[in-house]
C-alpha cells in the first residue's frame, strides 16, 4: 500500500515540476530579464594547440589549469547564486519538497544496483538509522547479509567507484577514491571474513566516468586492471593506458604489463586509444577492447593461460566494430552486437582465430542499441544459452538462443518499461534490472516459458523524464 501511495505522490510531483519547467520558470526568467538579470561573465584567454594533427582553440582552457582554481571556484559560485535566486523566486517549491520527502520516506526500504553473481544477489539498500549498505542474499528468498557501508582503511575515508565480485572465491575488488577522483586505487575485500586484504594497487586509471577497467582471471587467482602515467593535463588522463596483471597476495612491483602502447611488438596503439579489459564466467578467453576516439572501436582476444607479459599473443578480432560492453562469451566464441543494417546486428566471433564475425541474428527496424548510455550490457551467456535484450522503444523483449539447437525464442515480459541490464546466477536463475517510468518498486515474479520457470528479480529505479 505504501508503494502505491508513493507512486501517486511521485506522479503528482512530476506533474508539478513539469508545470513549473514549462510555464512558471520561463515566466520568472522573463520577468527577471526585464529587471536586467546579471549573468556572471567568464574572461577569455587565447589558447591554441595541436593534438595529433588537429588544431584546437579554446578561450576557456585557462579554467582547467590548477593555478586558476580559486578564480574558477568563485565564478561557479556566482553561477550557483544566480540559479538559486531564480529557483527561489518560483512559488510552490515547498510543496514539491514536502511531497518528495513523503514519497522517499515511503520507499526507503527499496534496493538498487542489483546483480547476480554465483549463488548470490548483490544490491544496495538504505537501512533506517544506518545509512546505505551494500548487501547480498542467497537467492531471492535468502536472508539478507550486510557487507559494508562506509569504507574506512587505516583511518582514511574512501568512496567506492566500482565493485567487481570474483567468480568463485569470496573476494571483491573495489576501486576507491578520495575527495572526488583523488588517490584512485584498487583494494581487495574478503566477503566471508569482512576485511580488506593487504593488496593495494595504485594509482589506477580512469578509463571513463565509471572508473578503472578491471577483470578477474577465471580462477580468481589474479586481477587484470588498467593504469596510465600520471599527468597534470586533464584532457590526457585517459592517454597511454596499459593493462597489467596483479597476482593476489603478491607485491605491486611484480605486476606485469600484458597489453598497451609500445608494449606488444605486433600491436600499434595511438596515445589516445584507451584499453579496457574483460573476462568471462563461461570462457577462458580475455578481451582487450580499445576505445579509439573518433574512429571505430576494436578488440583483441587471448586465452588467459597464454598471458606472457609483453609477449602475450593477442589476436585481433578481424572486421569487428566494438560497441562498448555489448558482448559476452562462451568457450572460444564471443557473442556481440556490432555495426550493421539497419542500426546494428548480433554476431558470433571465434576468439581463437580472430576470423571475421559470423552472422547470428539480424534485428528488425526499431531496435535501438546493444548497450545503453550507462554501458549496461544487453547480452549475457550461460553454459548453453545466450540471452539478448531487445531494446525496442515501448516493447522491450528478451530473446533466448539455445547454443545446442540454435532454436530462437522470446521470453514473455508482461511489464512495459525500459529494461536496463541482465544477469544470471550460478543456478541459471535469470535476473533482469529494469526501469519503469516514475516508480521505484521491488517486484519478484515468475515467468513461465515452454513449461520452464524463470524466477526474475525486477529492480526498478526512479526514471523521471521531466519536461521531455
Same-domain check for residues 156 and 275: yes
Q: Mean pLDDT highest for which of 140-144, 261-265, 412-416, 429-433?
A: 261-265
Q: Is the pLDDT of residue 467 over 60?
A: no
Strand-pairing partners, residue 356, are none
CATH code where residue 251 lies: 2.130.10.120
Q: What is the DSSP string of 382-436?
A: -SSEEEEEE-BTT--EEEEEETTT--EEEE---S-SEEEEEEE-TT--EEEEEEE
Q: What pLDDT is stored for residue 376 in this prediction? A: 62
Q: Is the pLDDT of residue 247 over 90?
A: yes
Between helix 93-106 and helix 2-19 the angle, nearest 10°, is 160
Q: How far apart are CA 276 and CA 399, in angstroms?
A: 27
Last residue of a domain, one of 316, 336, 369: 316
The mean pLDDT value of the chain amounts to 78
Q: What pLDDT is stored for residue 209 in this prediction? A: 76
Specify if 299 maps to a domain.
Answer: yes
Give the range among 110-114, 131-135, 343-347, 457-461 with minimum mean pLDDT. Answer: 457-461
Same-domain check for residues 157 and 300: yes
Grid look-up 576501486 returns 175
Entry field: residues in the chain: 468
Same-domain check for residues 263 and 208: yes
Same-domain check for residues 90 and 159: no
- Say if residue 395 is exposed, middle or buried (CB neighbours under 10 Å; 0-12, 13-18, 19+): exposed
Kindly state the percentage of the chain with pLDDT values over 90.
37
What does the pLDDT look like over 148-168, one tens digit per residue?
Answer: 998 988 889 999 999 999 999
All three cell numbers of 433, joined, read: 534490472
Q: What pLDDT is stored for residue 4 in this prediction? A: 47
Is 390 strand, coil or helix?
strand
Q: Is the pLDDT of residue 268 over 80?
A: yes
Report the side by side order of strands in the sheet with 156-165: 151-153, 156-165, 171-178, 182-190, 195-201
Q: What pLDDT is stored for residue 302 in this prediction? A: 98
Average of per-residue pLDDT across 364-375? 56
Higher confidence at residue 415 or residue 295?
A: 295
Specify if 454 maps to a domain.
Answer: no
* Residue pair 249/197 in contact by the 8 Å Cβ criterion: yes
Q: What pLDDT is stored for residue 362 in this prediction? A: 62
Specify if 273 maps to a domain.
Answer: yes
Q: Is the pLDDT of residue 143 over 80?
A: yes
Same-domain check for residues 181 and 280: yes
Grid look-up 515467468 returns 447
Q: Count of domains in the chain? A: 2
Q: Is the pLDDT of residue 214 over 90?
A: yes
What does the pLDDT look like over 343-353, one tens digit per residue?
Answer: 678 889 999 99
Is 372 strand, coil or helix?
coil
pLDDT band at residue 370 under the 50/70/90 scheme: low
pLDDT band at residue 74 under the 50/70/90 scheme: very high
Higher confidence at residue 406 or residue 216?
A: 216
Same-domain check for residues 99 and 179: no
Same-domain check for residues 165 and 308: yes
The dihedral sign for the CA sequence 25, 31, 34, 39: negative
Q: How far apart are CA 433 and CA 83, in angstroms?
A: 35
Same-domain check for residues 182 and 299: yes
Specify if 131 maps to a domain.
Answer: no
Specify if 356 maps to a domain.
Answer: no
Q: What pLDDT is stored for residue 193 in this prediction? A: 94
Q: How far apart are CA 388 and CA 7, in angstroms?
A: 30
Q: Mean pLDDT highest for which of 82-96, 97-111, 116-130, 452-466?
A: 116-130
pLDDT band at residue 31 under the 50/70/90 scheme: low
All three cell numbers of 225, joined, read: 586492471
Query: 282-297: string of b/e by CB count within 10 Å (b at 16+)?
Result: bbbbbbbbbbbeeeeb
CA distances from 240 to 65, 190, 200, 222, 231 (A): 21, 32, 22, 23, 11
The residue range of the domain holding 15 is: 2-105
Pairing of strands 222-227, 214-216: antiparallel
Last residue of a domain, one of 264, 296, 316: 316
Same-domain check for residues 75 and 211: no
All three cell numbers of 445, joined, read: 515474479
Specify if 337 maps to a domain.
Answer: no
Report the predicted TM-score, pTM, of the whole model to 2 decimal places: 0.75
Kindly state the percentage of the chain with pLDDT values over 70.
73
Same-domain check for residues 75 and 10: yes
The dihedral sign for the CA sequence 180, 224, 385, 333: positive
Give the range among 307-316, 373-382, 445-454 with minimum mean pLDDT. Answer: 445-454
Last residue of a domain, one of 294, 316, 338: 316
pLDDT band at residue 121 under the 50/70/90 scheme: confident
Is 243 strand, coil or helix?
strand
Q: Is the pLDDT of residue 127 over 80?
A: yes
Cα torsion at 180, 184, 186, 191 (round to 10°)?
-10
Q: What pLDDT is stored for residue 394 in this prediction? A: 67
Specify if 447 maps to a domain.
Answer: no
Report the side by side order of strands in the sheet with 120-127: 111-117, 120-127, 131-138, 145-148
Same-domain check for residues 88 and 161: no
Q: How far apart are CA 454 and CA 443, in angstroms?
A: 14
Specify if 61 maps to a domain.
Answer: yes
Q: Is the pLDDT of residue 330 over 80?
A: yes
Same-domain check for residues 183 and 285: yes
Amino acid at each position: 500500500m505504501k508503494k502505491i501511495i508513493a507512486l501517486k505522490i511521485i506522479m503528482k510531483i512530476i506533474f508539478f515540476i513539469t508545470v513549473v519547467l514549462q510555464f512558471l520558470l520561463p515566466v520568472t526568467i522573463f520577468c527577471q530579464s526585464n529587471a536586467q538579470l546579471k549573468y556572471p561573465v567568464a574572461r577569455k584567454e587565447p589558447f591554441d594547440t595541436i593534438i595529433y594533427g588537429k588544431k584546437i582553440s579554446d578561450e576557456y582552457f585557462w579554467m582547467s589549469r590548477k593555478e586558476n582554481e580559486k578564480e574558477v571556484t568563485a565564478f561557479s559560485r556566482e553561477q550557483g547564486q544566480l540559479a538559486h535566486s531564480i529557483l527561489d523566486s518560483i512559488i510552490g517549491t515547498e510543496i514539491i519538497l514536502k511531497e518528495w520527502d513523503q514519497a522517499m520516506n515511503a520507499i526507503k526500504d527499496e534496493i538498487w544496483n542489483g546483480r547476480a553473481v554465483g549463488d548470490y544477489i548483490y544490491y544496495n539498500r538504505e537501512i533506517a538509522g544506518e545509512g546505505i549498505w551494500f548487501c547480498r542474499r542467497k537467492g531471492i528468498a535468502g536472508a539478507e547479509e550486510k557487507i559494508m557501508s562506509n569504507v574506512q582503511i587505516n583511518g582514511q575515508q574512501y568512496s567506492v567507484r566500482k565493485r567487481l565480485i570474483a567468480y568463485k572465491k569470496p573476494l571483491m575488488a573495489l576501486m576507491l577514491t578520495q575527495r572526488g577522483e583523488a588517490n584512485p586505487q584498487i583494494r581487495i575485500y574478503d566477503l566471508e571474513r569482512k576485511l580488506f586484504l593487504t593488496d593495494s594497487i595504485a594509482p589506477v586509471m580512469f578509463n571513463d566516468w565509471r572508473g578503472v577497467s578491471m577483470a578477474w582471471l577465471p580462477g580468481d587467482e589474479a586481477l587484470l586492471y588498467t593504469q596510465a602515467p600520471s599527468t597534470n593535463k586533464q584532457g590526457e588522463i585517459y592517454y597511454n593506458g596499459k593493462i597489467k596483471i596483479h597476482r593476489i597476495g603478491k607485491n605491486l612491483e611484480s605486476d606485469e604489463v600484458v597489453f598497451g602502447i609500445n608494449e606488444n611488438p605486433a600491436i600499434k596503439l595511438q596515445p589516445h586509444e584507451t584499453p579496457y579489459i574483460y573476462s568471462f564466467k563461461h570462457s577462458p578467453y580475455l578481451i582487450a577492447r580499445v576505445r579509439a576516439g573518433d574512429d571505430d572501436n576494436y578488440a583483441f582476444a587471448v586465452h588467459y593461460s597464454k598471458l606472457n607479459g609483453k609477449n602475450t599473443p593477442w589476436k585481433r578480432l578481424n572486421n569487428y566494430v566494438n560497441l562498448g560492453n555489448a558482448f559476452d562469451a562462451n568457450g572460444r566464441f564471443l557473442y556481440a552486437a556490432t555495426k550493421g543494417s539497419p542500426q546494428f546486428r548480433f554476431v558470433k566471433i571465434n576468439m581463437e582465430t580472430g576470423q571475421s564475425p559470423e552472422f547470428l541474428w539480424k534485428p528488425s527496424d526499431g531496435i535501438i542499441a546493444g548497450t545503453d548510455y550507462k554501458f549496461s550490457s544487453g547480452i549475457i551467456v550461460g553454459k548453453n544459452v545466450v540471452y539478448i535484450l531487445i531494446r525496442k522503444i515501448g516493447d522491450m523483449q528478451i530473446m533466448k538462443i539455445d547454443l545446442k539447437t540454435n532454436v530462437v525464442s522470446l521470453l514473455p515480459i508482461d511489464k512495459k518499461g525500459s529494461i536496463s541490464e541482465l544477469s544470471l546466477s550460478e543456478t541459471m536463475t535469470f535476473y533482469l534490472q529494469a526501469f519503469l517510468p516514475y516508480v521505484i518498486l521491488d517486484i519478484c515474479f515468475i515467468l513461465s516459458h515452454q513449461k520452464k520457470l524463470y524466477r526474475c528479480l525486477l529492480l526498478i529505479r526512479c526514471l523521471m523524464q521531466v519536461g521531455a
